[in-house]
Amino acid sequence: MGLTRDRVPVAEAIEWATMPHCGAVVTFTGTVRDSNDDLAGHRSGILGIDYEAYDRHVEPRLCRIALAARDRWPAVGRVVLFHRIGPVPVTEASVLVVVSAPHRGEAFTAARFCIDVLKESVPVWKREHGGDGVSGWVATGNQIDDVTASAHRWCLARNPESAA
């Protein structure tokens, strides 16, 4: 769990998350694509992205996200959360979520929760580099929020009665 400047260890994370009592291992890998629809408009010809993070806040927040997932889905086996920082070329992974659970429903839902809350609460920013030589920070429209507030909003949006 944490930040890496190297390739995201996808295979190793899946292997670690696989457990005898867990029949489901769900993996979400976010990769750098060659185009983006951001708030400033569509941009294509992207060659890569530089990711920067407020390092000392990332790992504690990733741990809180994993704990929040375990609280909501107690059957979850293992949770892996990684984010890459530094330059990442097109088609390489920038973020990884792996969740194991006895059944696919819990694993899928917990993995979705983890990536959605990560995107709202982990202080990581990206600067796109275009083939035209222009670079720019990506405007997401999301303000970095507290893990607990993001998790509560996520649950409320999916099931208003159970989020309280």
Architecture label for domain 2-158: Alpha-Beta Complex (3.90)
Residue 98: C-alpha distances to residues 26, 35, 74, 131 (Å): 6, 25, 16, 32
Neighbours of 142 (CB within 10 A): 10
Q: What tens digit of pLDDT does each residue of 119-154 get?
A: 999 999 999 988 887 788 877 656 788 898 899 889
- Virtual torsion, Cα 73, 79, 85, 88, nearest 10 deg: -100
pLDDT of residue 35: 86
d(CA 105, CA 120): 23
d(CA 126, CA 49): 6
The owner of tokens 């982990």 is: 122
Q: What tens digit of pLDDT does each residue of 86-108 get?
A: 999 999 999 999 999 999 999 99
The pTM of the full predicted model, rounded to 2 decimals, is 0.88
d(CA 31, CA 44): 15
Q: What tens digit of pLDDT does each residue of 36-90 get?
A: 765 556 667 889 999 999 889 999 999 999 999 999 999 999 999 999 999 999 9
* Residue 164 reports pLDDT greater than 50: no
pLDDT of residue 142: 64
Q: Domains of the chain: which residue ranges? A: 2-158
